[in-house]
């Protein structure tokens, strides 16, 4: 994939100039006319970009339903706060993906993300099996971090695609979400350390 991206980077992309604002809608129709070899490459990358966007759109919408279940099951106030904060961000991320579709001049369409579905399923299993409390919090953190890592990978790729396709306003939006996902992941790491230390202290004093 990295090699391919480098190839794409070196292509001349006459149809993908995005310097002017408000001209986004004409871009998709430009793509279909007078294609040179390099345009075909960029249109294939555009297809991949759209497919990835549909995937993450499904994932984000699903997460707006799943994060509340994690919040319900969590006991640490830090964890609850972090999840609530990220739920609000996730709702904004859904709108941001819709905005990217708009920039492409496409209707926002979702396609089931098998990867995220699996991660959510694993998270559910952990939550069904754990007793509420510190151990369950640890399980929720681990499930949530796997989800964040998946999102970080997706948005990293999407941002790179947008950049390569020279759709800079889309790249900026995807970058904003990427920053939020990384921050959410870092926050969870810090909570995990605190939670484990607290638990160890409690066990020592028993």
Q: Which residues bind Fe ion (CB under 5 A)?
A: 90, 93, 151, 181
Tell me how far, at minimum, the Cβ of 184 lies from Fe ion, in Å: 5
Tokens describing residue 179:
């920053």
Q: How many residues bind Zn ion (CB under 5 A)?
A: 3
Select from Zn ion, Fe ion, none the partner in contact with residue 181, using the beta carbon and a kind-dependent cut-off of 5 to 8 Å.
Fe ion
The residue range among 20-28, 52-60, 176-184, 188-196 that interacts with Zn ion, by the rule CB under 5 A, is: 52-60
Residue 115 or residue 156: which is nearer to Zn ion going by CB?
Answer: 115
Select from Fe ion, Zn ion, none the partner in contact with residue 55, using the beta carbon and a kind-dependent cut-off of 5 to 8 Å.
Zn ion
3-state helix, strand, coil in the chain (%, to 5): 80, 0, 20
Tell me how far, at minimum, the Cβ of 200 lies from Zn ion, in Å: 36
Check residue 55 for interaction with Zn ion (CB under 5 A): yes
Q: What contacts 24+ positions apart, CB below 8 Å, involve 124-130?
A: 124/69, 127/69, 127/70, 127/73
Tell me how far, at minimum, the Cβ of 114 lies from Zn ion, in Å: 6
Binding mask 105-124 for Zn ion (x = CB under 5 A): --------x-x---------
Nearest-angstrom CA–CA distance, 75 and 120: 19
Q: Residue 57: which residues within 8 A CB-CB, separation 6 or more? A: 94, 97, 98, 101, 108, 109, 110, 111
């Amino acid at each position: 994939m990295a090699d391919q991206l480098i190839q794409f980077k070196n292509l001349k992309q006459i149809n993908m100039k995005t310097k002017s604002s408000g001209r986004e809608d004409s871009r998709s129709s430009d793509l279909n006319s007078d294609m040179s070899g390099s345009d075909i490459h960029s249109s294939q990358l555009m297809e991949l970009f759209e497919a990835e966007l549909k995937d993450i759109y499904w994932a984000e919408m699903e997460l707006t339903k799943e994060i509340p279940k994690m919040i319900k099951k969590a006991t640490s106030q830090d964890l609850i706060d972090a999840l609530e904060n990220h739920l609000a961000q996730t709702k904004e991320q859904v709108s941001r993906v819709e905005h990217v579709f708009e920039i492409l001049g496409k209707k926002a369409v979702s396609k089931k993300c098998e990867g995220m579905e699996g991660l959510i399923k694993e998270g559910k299993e952990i939550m069904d099996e754990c007793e509420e409390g510190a151990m369950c919090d640890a399980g929720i953190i681990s499930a949530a971090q796997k989800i964040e890592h998946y999102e970080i990978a997706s948005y990293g790729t999407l941002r790179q695609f947008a950049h390569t396709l020279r759709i800079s306003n889309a790249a900026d939006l995807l970058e904003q979400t990427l920053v939020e996902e990384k921050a959410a992941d870092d926050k969870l790491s810090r909570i995990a350390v605190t939670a484990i230390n607290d638990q160890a202290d409690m066990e020592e004093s028993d």
